[in-house]
Structure 1
């Protein structure tokens, strides 16, 4: 069975994740530690230009890094995805001052970046309207500031120790929708208690409400949300796919480590899954490298859907290979990976939403 190895995560980080993966998944006590651990491993700097404090490389290397973490803990990879995606927004933002003052803390893992643009990505695909509204301050002119209201029911990496959350806003004066970075300590910014998730419980996932929060242009990531989202979507979904790739690789590695008798029984299915995983990963990496997903987002949706199905099959095969051991709590991780895999189809945009988008796309092509 020939599939790519897990991306090199530092030995220290791998040891910490393996020792704490069950606790990170099932409880919230270690939530404050995940971001600093990832920051110390310098993972947030991958795919960021050197002149901005990064390690260079491309988004593909960042996706591989997310996959590497996902092989140890999907909850930690989920946090990583949120942080690295927010960093990507700043890299693509014309707001140089916001990038200059925020990026160093984000790269070190001292400040959390929360990508609250799931609603916006659905808006981009005409799935739902924007849930946030911006009104220009009365008589002050658009650039002086806005009063922000609305709520988003689900955002990851809303770290209690401090966060910036990206969210898209309709404008009451008819201006195009824009995107703001919302600081956790601005008056009128309200974070809920953590959501009662069945897994990934240390991911600092909560709801965010804005009640008359006031921000000026220094917090605006872009004044043109739609154009920005089209540009950012390949990285948003590509980094998200890294979670699936890493989890599938880890499940298949567990199958490969089974007894000879078990391997003989499942070798055909395992080999097919490994082949499909390599093919889908390569399709993702090629599309990211060459920019083809910008003009053809449907092909990226197909990759995301395919990876979700593959994760499900790989984890079910791991459970088969583990037998009764796979149903025990403990260091083996098969039960945890089953819970983690159950999350993959519902992370926004969900597989159901993407399938609906593809159906509409095909209908439009047929017409």
Structure 2
């Protein structure tokens, strides 16, 4: 069952488009839009196989990113949280939380930016866990977790002696202190917070995995997969932006080296490649990392072309081309960043030979 694009577009028109400027300039968090997606059944996987669920949710991210990549990024955070709960072997956790996340009653976040860098050999793990009766006690600070608010859930990984444990925690926990982070070049409306853990008890019912390293290996390809349509949406919006101004200055834009049709062909090719990968049921880390990396460079090319085609109008504060430019640079620096992806794709390719 494919996504009902008409209903999705109606939600975007009503609950997202009117607020994009405020999201970008005033750090407004489009929480109502995210809740509405769930209430309208867009996160419901109960009647779908995994491939259909993934393809549908990729479409939702792309359509959202065309209008506002900040909100699409928040949507990705929620889908990452859904992935953790869909994949956990903890039936109690899945039974309690999955329906709430899928029907939009509560929203989720990833919390794995630092752990993903840890497993890539780039950072130390910021949280520690002590095994106690009935669960774990966590301490430490996560520098940045996005898509957070009251009664939001997010994943976290902490070092526990010889291995790591992954848990699912709620922002309303009295021992978790949130401090909002804004003043970004873009994505101010991403509801990003520093999260300080002080003696936070997490019961076994809320443990995603007692062996986080193995679990991350399982979910990382999907984690990265859901990011790719962030770039697709921005490329699509840039193509539309270029088409709108093609008659500017007596059609002088036709002499620019990068044109909308070239960008469209590249986008369609990468979209087809991604869809075939999902349909194959074999989403390897190497394959999806290569697509994600290619999406970064194609997105950067598209937003730069959009700026050039729009000329001085694109440099006005608050213009759509300038917002898409800033969104693209965030996409390039979203974990795994372009630097990390370059390292991963080369390392994984060498190791597979």
- Which consecutive aligned stretches of 4+ in structure 1 deviate over 4 angstroms post-superposition? 362-366
**CA-based RMSD:** 2.5
Aligned length, in residue pairs: 346
In structure 1, the residue matched to 2:295 is 307
How do 1:254-265 and structure 2 match up within 5 A?
254-260=241-247, 261=251, 264-265=254-255
DSSP-derived class of the 2:345 partner:
helix
CA contact (8 A) 1:134 1:146 kept: yes
Distance in 2 separating the partners of 1:55 and 1:290: 11
In structure 1, the residue matched to 2:78 is 83
CA contact (8 A) 1:44 1:83 kept: no
Shift of 1:124: 2.9
Distance in 2 separating the partners of 1:336 and 1:275: 23
Distance in 1 separating the partners of 2:235 and 2:126: 34
1:316 has 2:311 as partner: no
CA contact (8 A) 2:286 2:349 kept: no
In structure 1, the residue matched to 2:15 is 16
Shift of 1:201: 1.2
Residue in structure 2 matching 1:167, options 156, 162, 165: 156
CA contact (8 A) 1:171 1:177 kept: yes
DSSP-derived class of the 1:202 partner:
helix
How do 1:258-277 and structure 2 match up within 5 A?
258-260=245-247, 261=251, 264-266=254-256, 269-277=259-267
Shift of 1:30: 4.3
Distance in 2 separating the partners of 1:40 and 1:11: 14
Distance in 2 separating the partners of 1:58 and 1:29: 29
In structure 2, the residue matched to 1:121 is 116
Shift of 1:303: 1.1
Deviations 1:117-160 (A, max 9, x none): 122222333333322211112xx3xxx1111112211111111x
DSSP-derived class of the 2:177 partner:
strand
How do 1:110-189 and structure 2 match up within 5 A?
110-137=105-132, 140=133, 144-159=134-149, 161-172=150-161, 174=162, 176-189=163-176
CA contact (8 A) 2:145 2:195 kept: yes
CA 158–256 in structure 1, closer or farther in 2 if over 3 Å, else same:
same
Shift of 1:37: 3.8
Deviations 1:205-226 (A, max 9, x none): 1111211101111110122212
Distance in 2 separating the partners of 1:203 and 1:109: 17
DSSP-derived class of the 1:168 partner:
strand
In structure 1, the residue matched to 2:27 is 28
Distance in 2 separating the partners of 1:217 and 1:360: 36
Shift of 1:204: 0.6
CA 269–316 in structure 1, closer or farther in 2 if over 3 Å, else same:
same
CA contact (8 A) 1:49 1:56 kept: no
In structure 1, the residue matched to 2:54 is 59
Unaligned runs of 5+ in 1: 1-5
Residue in structure 2 matching 1:291, options 258, 263, 281: 281
CA 312–82 in structure 1, closer or farther in 2 if over 3 Å, else same:
same
